[in-house]
Structures are given as C-alpha cells and as structure tokens.
Amino acid sequence: MAGTGAAGGGLGAVDDGVTALACSMPKAELHLHIEGALEPDLAFALARRNRISLPWADEAALTAAKDFQDLQSFLDLYYACAAVLRTPEDFRDLMLAYLRRAAADGVVHAEIFFDPQTHTERGVAYPVVLEGLREGMALGERELGVTSGLILCFLRHLTEAQGFLALDAALGSLDLIDGFGLDSGERGNPPGKFQRLFERCRALGKPVVAHAAEEGPPSYITEALDLLKVRRIDHGVRAVEDPAVLARLAREGIALTVCPLSNLRLRVFPHMAAHTLPGLLAAGVRATINSDDPAYFGGYLNDNIRAVQRAFDFPPRTWYQLARNSFEAAFAPEARRLQWIAALDAHFRAAGADPQGFPR
Ligand code: ADE
Ligand code: ZN
C-alpha cells in the first residue's frame, strides 16, 4: 500500500487505499451529542408525529439554515430543533438512527452525550429521555453489535444550581449513566463555574469530561483538569496556543476528542489545512477523531476522516494511532479495550500494514 511509511503532509495526491483503511478500521466514537444526530428528515417526521410545527417550511429550508457563524449561532438552531423530541419513542428512534450510521462507519463503541436540561426545561421529564435513549442503545447493541455508554452533560450557560437540580433528577437511575460532561456556550462560562457540581459527580464514582478550548482559551483546559478533574477534554484544539498546556496534555496522557468538521463549520479554523490536529499529534497528545453533531456539521465519523485525510494525507500509522487512542481513552473495562485493540491490529495486518512496525 502506497503511503505506508510516508510522513504525510498534504502536498501529493491522497492515497485512497489509506482512506479506505481508515474508514473501514474499527474505532470508538467518544464525542457525539445525540441531539446533534437529529437529521432534517427525522426532525420533520417527529414534528408530524407530535403535531409540532417547526419554524422552517421544509427539510431543505432547515438544511439551508445550517450556515453558522460561531458556536452560539449553531446552539440556537440545535436547541430549536430539539423541540420535536417529546416521547421515549422519539429518543429511541434518534438513538437507533445514529447507531446505524455509526456502525456503517466501523464504530464498535460510542460514548454518547445527552443534554437533559434541554428537555426538562420544556416539560419533557428526565425518565422519558433516559428510557428512550437506553432502549435505542439496547436495540443498537442487539441489532448492530455496537456497545455504547451515556454521558449526561450539564449546560454551562445555565447556573451551577440548575446543574445540581439536573443531577438530582438523575440520582434515581444512576446505574444508567456512564459519566458526566459539560457543554453549550463556552465563552464566559469557564469550567470553574461548576467545580462543586463536578466534585459531587466524581464522588458518585463516575468519570467526568468537559468541553474546553473549542472557542475558549487554553486556560479552560487547565481549569477543567485542575478544578473539575476531568479524564478527557472535549475538543481542546486551541491547546497548541499554550506550549505548557500542550506539554501537560502529552505528559499526562489526557485524551482530546477532536471534531474536525465541527471546528470547520463553527469557524474555529478557516479551512481544514489550518486545523491543529497534526500539531497535537506531533506534540504527543492522545487525540481522537469524532463527529460532535453530525446532522449539523456535514457528516459522520468517516466524513470527518475523509476530510482530514484530504487535508493532511496521513500515513496508516497515524490512523492506527487515532483509532487506538479512541479505544485507550474509552470508559470501558481494560479487557474490552484490549479486545478492541487486538481487532484493530488484525485489521491493519490484513491490509498489509503491521502495527508492530509502526514507530512509537
Ligand atoms: N453542544 C452540542 N455540540 C456542542 C459543541 N460543539 N460545543 C459545545 N456544546 C455543544
Ligand atoms: Zn461537543
């Protein structure tokens, strides 16, 4: 396979064999908002089912509205579309639709964010949301063999007191939650605002993560690590602006869940060639590739892989590393992580690229 030992760099023609290898390899998706997987056709179908009228004439008009200036302009649309989700069946159908798309992209495990406050604030009870999502996850595992976990995200534009109320609602069924996260508008809402809430989440024995340095400064990564004690950073792509933060991420083996098409569509970077993913990898940071909100940002996991490969022409060893990072950073028992990595190794060997020969 051409490109096996190449440094990569994006100047030559992209090796389609490498793209095919990266798209077909088994991988975990660790940064996916289930509300962000609501495709226009499902949004309109659910609106009809629930007799809700959406503020767009049709699917094409909704698709046309997805021209974002920044994170907040996306969030306004994303929260508006979530209004069609009302019953357990709606959440189940949304979950199953995502898992089918993910499975088609070689995803064998997904750790999925959901925003309960978005739903409870408009009168949809927490158990309705949880029941539907969990049913979809069970069906996905049975039908597709994809395992999944659920990460409850607090909305950072709300107060910490409101976060405590959301946590209270979850306490009765804590065994159905695999971790806690922090999302929504980053600017002006530093991780430290939620220090006591995250202390409580950790005391419940769950891993915690937070969006940081997507739009906000690298210091938000430091806050998320020191004050929230997160196990992974979601996005973190602005870490390269602070060499000390970058070196710390590498030294401590903190995974970043990077979402390249999201960063493009939210104008974090003007074009893919300006993305900091190569710089993060070169610094030894444990980066992973994810789709964030695929229905809004132009694609699922393999669409992200294809866009990255077109820009950077990575060699197979980089794709191996990215997939391996996704398994190593998953909140799953070690035995399962080792099984996934063994399957990844076998996949590369079958394609004639032996991971044992890749430089460490
Ligand atoms: N909620 C859904 N997608 C998000 C993102 N990319 N950043 C912050 N909050 C989000
Ligand atoms: Zn996100």
pLDDT of residue 319: 98
* Tens-place pLDDT, residues 54-94: 999 999 999 999 999 999 999 999 999 999 999 999 999 99
| Cβ-Cβ contacts under 8 Å for 110 (sequence gap 6 or more) | 28, 29, 30, 32, 98, 99, 102, 146, 147, 148, 149
In the chain, DSSP assigns E strands to 27-33, 107-114, 147-155, 179-183, 209-212, 232-235, 255-258, 286-289
Tell me how long the chain is: 360
pLDDT of residue 360: 67
pLDDT of residue 4: 37
Q: Is 214 a catalytic residue?
A: yes
Q: Which two tokens stand for residue 268?
A: 């974090």
Ligand that lies nearest to the alpha carbon of residue 153, given by its number in the listed order:
1
| Helix, strand, coil shares, percent, the chain, to 5 | 55, 15, 30
Ligand 1, atom 6, residue with closest C-alpha: 292
Sheet of 147-155, strand order: 27-33, 107-114, 147-155, 179-183
CA distance 179 to 149: 8
Q: Which two tokens stand for residue 348?
A: 């590369």
| Cβ-Cβ contacts under 8 Å for 271 (sequence gap 6 or more) | 264, 311
Q: Which of 96, 95, 81, 98 is nearest to 46 (CA)?
A: 81
Alpha helices in 224-275 (DSSP H): 243-252, 260-265
Q: Which of 79, 269, 66 is nearest to 157 (CA)?
A: 79
Alpha helices in 32-123 (DSSP H): 40-49, 59-64, 71-81, 88-104, 116-120
Which ligand 1 atom is at minimum distance from the Cα of 156?
A: 9
pLDDT of residue 243: 98
Q: Distance, CA 96 to ligand 1 centroid (Å)?
A: 21
Ligand that lies nearest to the alpha carbon of residue 182, given by its number in the listed order:
1
Ligand that lies nearest to the alpha carbon of residue 112, given by its number in the listed order:
2
- 222 to 33, 242, 270, 339: CA distances (angstroms): 23, 11, 26, 33
Q: Do strands 107-114 and 147-155 pair parallel, antiparallel, or not at all (unpaired)? A: parallel
Catalytic residue (choose from 39, 131, 186, 214): 214
Contact 167, 201 (CB under 8 A): yes
Helices 40-49 and 88-104 pack at an angle, to 10 degrees, of 160
CA distance 234 to 158: 19
Which ligand 1 atom is at minimum distance from the Cα of 78?
A: 2
Give one word for 154, left, alpha or beta, with left for phi > 0 and alpha for psi -120 to 50: beta
Which ligand 1 atom is at minimum distance from the Cα of 214?
A: 7
Give the residues surrounding ligand 1 with Cβ less than 6 Å away.
33, 36, 71, 183-184, 211, 214, 262, 292-293
Residue that has been written with the tokens 């409870």 in this structure: 120
Per-position b or e across 85-95, b if 16+ CB within 10 A of its CB: bbbbbbbbbbb
Q: Which two tokens stand for residue 33?
A: 């908002």
The helix/strand/coil state of 123 is coil
Ligand 1, atom 10, residue with closest C-alpha: 184
Q: What is the mean pLDDT of each run of 10 residues along the chain (360 residues)?
A: 38 77 98 98 98 96 96 96 98 98 98 98 98 98 98 98 98 98 98 98 98 98 98 98 98 98 98 98 98 97 98 97 98 98 97 87
pLDDT of residue 7: 37
What's the CATH class of domain 16-41+108-129+150-352? alpha beta
Indicate the pTM of the whole model.
Answer: 0.96
Instruction: Report the Cα 158 to chain-centroid distance in Å.
Output: 21
